Structure 1
Amino acid sequence: MTTTKQTFSFPQSQGVPPQVGPFAHATQWGNLLFITGQMPTDPATGAVVGDDIVTQATQVRKNLEAVLAQFGLTFDDALMVRIYLTSFEDYAAFNTAYASWFKGPLPSRTCVGVTGLAVGAIVEIDLIAGIANG
């Protein structure tokens, strides 16, 4: 079986924020979809939304959902989620918001503390989703 890599970038008109670096929004390899870390930026303006963890995490979720939607997927298709937080003081509040994002079983997850993120964000999230055989 031959598997090829396909990369995808989406315009802001599809609800996906503009790229802030040289990357694709998503890369598909077989039935796996790797989604680039999303920031808490408004797709229309590129500006960071909010200054608290819940507001920023909510915008990151919306941005990830916009990419997932391009493939007919939702958060319940996530297999692995990686979260970057600039302050672990936000950990509990983030977890409360995050747990509400899923209807089915939770995916595997890693949460990493970092000293800074692009665009001055306090949270960034990337994920790997599975694409079911139709």
Structure 2
Amino acid sequence: MPKTGFYAEGAPAPAGPYSHGVVANGFLYTAGFGPQDAENGNAIADNVADQTRQVLRNIQKVLAVHGLTTDDVVKSTVHLQDLSDFAEFNAAYEEFFSAPYPVRTTVGSQLANILVEIDVVAALPQG
């Protein structure tokens, strides 16, 4: 199965040896993104709603490389530092998606200095 890794202009630099996204078998897979600002690498805000919005703006930049939007997302995986932030996270998340919503898994994780991390899978246009 051929795969093509890529980087998105305006997205935060990867923290290790990985691509912002990989295209394979008709899908675009993103790395997990935190709420980092691309210019300085620092996490923005200290509340989960604003951090969620920043994470999803970062992901939008990766999707846009292949002409995709959050409407093309079929699955998301979410890591929350504190599951009691779920309602606040969910309200911000919903600002970026419309029905039919992608499937989603949300788990609690021991994130370092951030409140939320998200990765997504998006379907590429057929044909």
Matched, 1:131 2:124: yes
Q: Normalised by the size of structure 1, how large is the TM-score?
A: 0.90
RMSD value over aligned CA atoms? 1.1
- Kindly report structure 1 stretches of 4+ aligned residues shifted beyond 2 Å: none
SS in 2 for 1:34: strand
Q: Among residues 5, 8, 12, which one is paired with 2:6 in the alignment?
A: 8
Q: Normalised by the size of structure 2, how large is the TM-score?
A: 0.95
State how far apart, in whole Å, the 2-side matches of 1:33 and 1:87 are. Answer: 28
SS in 1 for 2:60: helix
Unaligned runs of at least 5 residues, structure 2? none
State how far apart, in whole Å, the 2-side matches of 1:8 and 1:27 are. Answer: 6
After TM superposition, the structure 1 = structure 2 runs for residues 1-134 of structure 1, keeping only pairs within 5 Å, are 3-10=1-8, 14-117=9-112, 120-134=113-127
Unaligned runs of at least 5 residues, structure 1? none
Q: What is the CA deviation profile of residues 50-73 of structure 1, one whole-angstrom value per residue up to 9, with x for unaligned ones?
A: 010011101001100010011100
State how far apart, in whole Å, the 2-side matches of 1:116 and 1:53 are. Answer: 12
